[in-house]
């Protein structure tokens, strides 16, 4: 709900459990007055979140210190020395912005932003700020999602100055908290170790994460949260932000000398400049703020509902997803038609729905050294082309899926030989390879158009009903042959706009094809990508134990159905860890399920279990897609992990338990969170019938495991 009260010039944005309040002060500044548990719509003008009283610059002609104004969109150069949301530099070099309230309006329905994916939504508050000295306008956008306790924020900078300005910083939001003592939570890691939680105390100074790699990155998720001390799965206040963007990003929590905290997120200013000519506008990506008064568990459930209801394509979000077998870990580049036919023949009646032909099917792509960019099927390897494989799949009752990496080019490719200037690089300097490839310059319309046409035609002719879109290197050099010198700083964001344009085009042209995102695993797993790809490959690490940690961080924010998880061979090819098939399967069940191995090397007794395991997934997959996640322990904090998915009506639940090392003679025991205490439940696997209150508070014990990495899946059903 959005309310404005004229007498004290206050805005109240209200979700089910939170209030977010702003107020226009006597000098015309839009100040942030409150964010937290729901409060009455009182006049909050009495509250003075003032700064330490020493040598503070004041508004000319007044005694009011700039540092005392908790500006809703923090600006630079006027005496608030904290991190600004925006820096705009005029042609004369003036980078001051004195933004004051200039009106507001409420849109009945949220507008889509041109070129950047945003969430769908209703009533949206738009506040206009204006610098009365140079005329620059900033529009702040707020949409409330009441049930989910979510507030989205973004900004539009409109150059109404009459002359060019250069944006040096344009974050999606800054947000001030008056209290101190918060902890900060971020998700960090690297390739094959994505989204490990990092939690620490905040002290005076700036805690920041982010990157300038041109992708969301495996190194830092574009997520940051403030937590009250002691916050756990079930208790504590959480103020989180997840940015709907897939390029370089920046998140920070700054504690100033008075203990006040400023949270910010947006496009990373370290790799961003934007020339805004007179009359032009710049739109920031959208940040999704989530408030929870019941710990990280509630934050997760609210984020899951939000991304399912307002971001992921409604056609796919709750739809049954194919169980795939992906060729990569089993075959890498060494395959031919014979090997593929043998594989798909063996999958007949296994419960696997779709065979995915990963990297290596096109051009001279026999290794990662050549062929990217040459999007035609290598008929020497695959006589009859992709159609022949799709047909063979169909004969076995399987769908066909195909891997692409449209943003890239190998220097050893026909495309590069023909159009060397289409690759990102600086004239006179050697191009910087990564995995033997260069990045195509997606800031160029001609490049995006070429790829639209070529990839579009390949997909159309392939018979595929699933596409895995990969992106396997960071951006470097950040230079386009077409951009003028004073616009080279725009390269990274323009690149992202090109990627979104291609994603929009392909997903619209092929509405019946399921697209899966990927970037060396979970290197570009973010809310914006979910707008195009209902599921994303979570990590190149398929070891069950590591995966339980990677999936923990990934599904802290994103729905289980978005996390694509495959069972692979044991010992794991990446870390050599041996885990039982049951454990690999249970962990992969906690998302969109599939397989990834060589059918001839997978042990026969394990292969024989696939029909039963796929059938079992089909008994729980609706719950996985639609249910609420409750967590017990997790492997970041101890030796075991528990994830419980409960249906919205609390009639069904599935709990997956994992124990890493097998302790001496101790039965695993855990509580089952999220059940209705007043219902009676049957736990099939343990042959138990117990009230919810008992399962929630006392829990269950399991028979001892005989090995390390034991796991159990419990199906729990309410007895009517
Ligand atoms: C990336 C992906 C893998 C696979 C390979 C192919 O690493 O994450 O799943 O597709 O590329 O080159």
Per-residue model confidence as pLDDT tens digits over 162-196:
999 999 999 999 999 998 799 999 999 999 999 99
**pLDDT of the residue at 651:** 98
Which residues have CB under 8 Å from 61's CB, separation 6+?
none
- pLDDT band at residue 451, thresholds of 50, 70 and 90? very high
Average pLDDT over residues 112-116: 94
In contact, 216 and 249? CB cutoff 8 Å? yes
**pLDDT of the residue at 153:** 98
The residue whose C-alpha atom lies closest to atom 8 belonging to ligand 1 is: 520
The strand ranges marked E within 159-279 are 165-177, 183-190, 193-201, 205-211, 220-227, 238-244, 249-255, 261-267, 274-276
Average pLDDT over residues 365-393: 98
What spacing in Å lies between the alpha carbon of 24 and ligand 1's midpoint?
Answer: 51
- Asked if pLDDT for residue 205 goes beyond 80, the answer is yes
Average pLDDT over residues 576-595: 98
Which residues have CB under 8 Å from 24's CB, separation 6+?
9, 10, 30, 31, 101
Strand partners, 356: 326, 401
Average pLDDT over residues 510-517: 98
For residues 73 and 246, give the distance between their C-alpha atoms in angstroms, rounded to a whole number: 22
Architecture in CATH for domain 314-537 = Alpha-Beta Barrel (3.20)
Pocket test for ligand 1, best of 518, 519, 524, 539 (most atoms within 8 A of CB): 518
- Asked if pLDDT for residue 665 goes beyond 90, the answer is no
Nearest to 147, CA basis, from 301, 264, 33: 301
What spacing in Å lies between the alpha carbon of 327 and ligand 1's midpoint?
Answer: 10
- Chain region(s) in the chain for CATH 2.70.98.60: 2-41+70-310
For the ranges 285-294, 377-386, 660-669, the lowest mean pLDDT is seen at 660-669
Who lines ligand 1 at CB under 6 A? 328, 358-359, 403, 470, 472, 518, 520-521, 537, 540
- Asked if pLDDT for residue 40 goes beyond 90, the answer is yes
Phi-psi region of 360 (alpha: psi -120 to 50; beta: other; left: phi over 0): left
What spacing in Å lies between the alpha carbon of 520 and ligand 1's midpoint?
Answer: 5
The strand ranges marked E within 321-444 are 324-326, 354-357, 399-404, 408-409, 438-439
Residues in the chain: 720
In contact, 96 and 80? CB cutoff 8 Å? no
Q: Residues 246, 297, 123, CA angle at the centre, nearest 5°? A: 60
Percent of the chain with pLDDT over 70: 100
- Chain region(s) in the chain for CATH 2.60.40.1180: 640-718
Which residues have CB under 8 Å from 209's CB, separation 6+?
186, 188, 220, 224, 250, 251, 252
Pocket test for ligand 1, best of 470, 536, 539, 573 (most atoms within 8 A of CB): 470
Q: Which are the catalytic amino acids?
A: 470, 540
Omega of the bond prior to 571 within 30 degrees of 0, cis?
yes
Strand partners, 12: 3, 21
For residues 701 and 708, give the distance between their C-alpha atoms in angstroms, rounded to a whole number: 17
For residues 136 and 165, give the distance between their C-alpha atoms in angstroms, rounded to a whole number: 9
- Asked if pLDDT for residue 664 goes beyond 90, the answer is no
**pLDDT of the residue at 233:** 98
For residues 667 and 613, give the distance between their C-alpha atoms in angstroms, rounded to a whole number: 25
Q: So what CATH class is 640-718?
A: mainly beta
Pocket test for ligand 1, best of 192, 328, 525 (most atoms within 8 A of CB): 328
**pLDDT of the residue at 54:** 87
Percent of the chain with pLDDT over 90: 98
In contact, 171 and 266? CB cutoff 8 Å? yes
What spacing in Å lies between the alpha carbon of 576 and ligand 1's midpoint?
Answer: 19
Pocket test for ligand 1, best of 329, 357, 358 (most atoms within 8 A of CB): 358
- pLDDT band at residue 232, thresholds of 50, 70 and 90? very high
**pLDDT of the residue at 220:** 98
**pLDDT of the residue at 53:** 83
For residues 224 and 243, give the distance between their C-alpha atoms in angstroms, rounded to a whole number: 9
> What ligand 1 atom has the least distance to the C-alpha of 520?
8
The residue whose C-alpha atom lies closest to atom 6 belonging to ligand 1 is: 359
The C-alpha torsion from 434 through 437 and 442 to 443, rounded to 10°, is 50
What spacing in Å lies between the alpha carbon of 376 and ligand 1's midpoint?
Answer: 19
Q: Return the structure tokens found at 78.
A: 């006027």
Which residues have CB under 8 Å from 26's CB, separation 6+?
none
The strand ranges marked E within 97-192 are 99-107, 124-131, 137-145, 150-158, 165-177, 183-190
Q: Return the structure tokens found at 142.
A: 């707020």
What spacing in Å lies between the alpha carbon of 467 and ligand 1's midpoint?
Answer: 13
What spacing in Å lies between the alpha carbon of 252 and ligand 1's midpoint?
Answer: 31
> What ligand 1 atom has the least distance to the C-alpha of 358?
10
- Chain region(s) in the chain for CATH 3.20.20.70: 314-537
> What ligand 1 atom has the least distance to the C-alpha of 468?
10
Average pLDDT over residues 598-627: 98
Report strand pairing: 183-190 vs 324-326: unpaired
- pLDDT band at residue 50, thresholds of 50, 70 and 90? confident
| Domain 2-41+70-310: which CATH number of 2.60.40.10, 2.70.98.60, 3.40.980.10, 3.40.50.2000 | 2.70.98.60
The residue whose C-alpha atom lies closest to atom 2 belonging to ligand 1 is: 520
**pLDDT of the residue at 119:** 98
């Amino acid at each position: 709900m959005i309310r404005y009260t004229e007498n004290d010039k206050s805005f109240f944005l209200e979700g089910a459990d939170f209030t977010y309040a702003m107020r226009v002060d006597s000098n015309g500044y839009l100040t942030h007055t409150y964010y937290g548990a729901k409060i009455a719509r009182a006049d909050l003008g009495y509250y003075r979140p003032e700064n330490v009283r020493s040598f503070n610059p004041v508004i000319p002609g007044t005694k009011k210190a700039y540092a005392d104004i908790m500006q809703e969109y923090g600006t630079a150069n006027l005496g608030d020395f904290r991190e600004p949301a925006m820096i705009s530099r005029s042609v004369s070099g003036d980078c001051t912005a004195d933004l004051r309230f200039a009106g507001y309006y409420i849109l009945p329905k949220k507008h889509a932003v041109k070129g950047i994916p945003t969430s769908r939504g209703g009533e949206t508050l738009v506040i206009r700020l204006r610098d009365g000295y140079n005329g620059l306008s900033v529009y702040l956008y707020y949409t409330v999602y009441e049930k989910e306790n979510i507030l989205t924020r973004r900004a539009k900078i409109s150059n109404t100055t009459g002359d060019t300005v250069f944006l040096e910083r344009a974050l999606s939001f800054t947000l001030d908290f008056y209290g101190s003592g918060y902890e900060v939570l971020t998700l960090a890691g690297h390739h094959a170790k994505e989204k490990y939680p990092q939690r620490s105390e905040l002290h005076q100074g700036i805690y920041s994460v982010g990157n300038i790699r041109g992708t969301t990155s495996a190194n830092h998720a574009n997520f940051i949260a403030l937590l009250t001390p002691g916050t756990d799965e079930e208790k504590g206040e959480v103020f989180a932000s997840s940015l709907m963007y897939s390029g370089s990003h920046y998140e920070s929590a700054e504690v100033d000398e008075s203990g006040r905290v400023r949270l910010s997120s947006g496009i990373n200013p370290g790799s961003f400049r934007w020339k805004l000519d007179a009359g032009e506008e710049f739109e920031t990506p959208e940040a999704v703020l989530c408030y929870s008064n019941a710990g990280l568990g509630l934050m997760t459930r609210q984020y899951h509902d939000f991304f399912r209801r307002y971001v992921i394509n409604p056609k796919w979000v709750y739809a049954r997803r194919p169980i795939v077998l992906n060729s990569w870990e089993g075959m890498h580049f060494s395959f031919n038609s014979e090997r593929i036919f043998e594989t798909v023949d063996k999958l007949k009646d296994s419960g696997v729905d779709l065979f995915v032909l990963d990297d290596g099917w096109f051009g001279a792509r026999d290794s990662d050294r050549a062929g990217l960019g040459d999007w035609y099927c290598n008929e020497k390897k695959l006589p009859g082309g992709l159609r022949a494989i799709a047909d063979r799949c169909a004969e076995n009752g399987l769908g066909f899926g195909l891997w692409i990496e449209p943003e890239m080019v190998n220097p050893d490719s026909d495309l590069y030989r023909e159009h060397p200037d289409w690759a990102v690089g600086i004239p006179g300097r050697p191009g910087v390879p990564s995995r033997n490839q260069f990045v195509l310059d997606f800031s160029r319309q001609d490049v995006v158009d070429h790829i639209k046409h070529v990839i579009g035609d390949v997909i159309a002719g392939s018979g595929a009903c699933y596409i895995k879109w990969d992106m396997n290197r960071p951006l470097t050099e950040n230079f386009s042959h077409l951009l003028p010198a004073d616009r080279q700083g725009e390269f990274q964001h323009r690149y992202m706009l090109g990627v979104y344009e291609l994603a929009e085009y392909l997903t619209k042209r092929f509405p019946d094809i399921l697209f899966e995102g990927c970037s060396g695993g979970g290197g570009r797993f973010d809310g914006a990508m979910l707008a195009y790809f209902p599921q994303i490959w979570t990590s190149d690490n398929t070891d069950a134990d590591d995966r339980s940690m990677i999936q923990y961080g990934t599904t802290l924010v994103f729905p289980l159905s978005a996390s694509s998880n495959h069972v692979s061979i044991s010992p794991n090819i990446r870390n050599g860890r041996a885990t039982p098939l049951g454990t690999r399967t249970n962990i992969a069940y906690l998302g969109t399920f599939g397989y990834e191995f060589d059918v001839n090397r997978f042990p026969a007794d394990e292969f024989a279990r696939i029909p039963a395991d796929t059938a079992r997934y089909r008994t729980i997959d609706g719950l996985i897609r639609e249910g609420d996640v409750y967590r017990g322990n997790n492997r970041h904090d101890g030796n075991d992990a528990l994830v419980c998915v409960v249906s919205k009506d609390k009639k069904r639940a599935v709990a997956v338990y994992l124990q890493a090392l097998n302790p001496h003679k101790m039965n695993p025991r855990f509580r089952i969170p999220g059940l209705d205490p007043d219902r009676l439940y049957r736990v099939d696997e343990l042959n138990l019938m117990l009230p919810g209150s008992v399962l929630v508070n006392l829990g269950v014990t399991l028979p001892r495991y005989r090995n390390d990495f034991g796991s159990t899946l419990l199906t729990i059903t309410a007895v009517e």
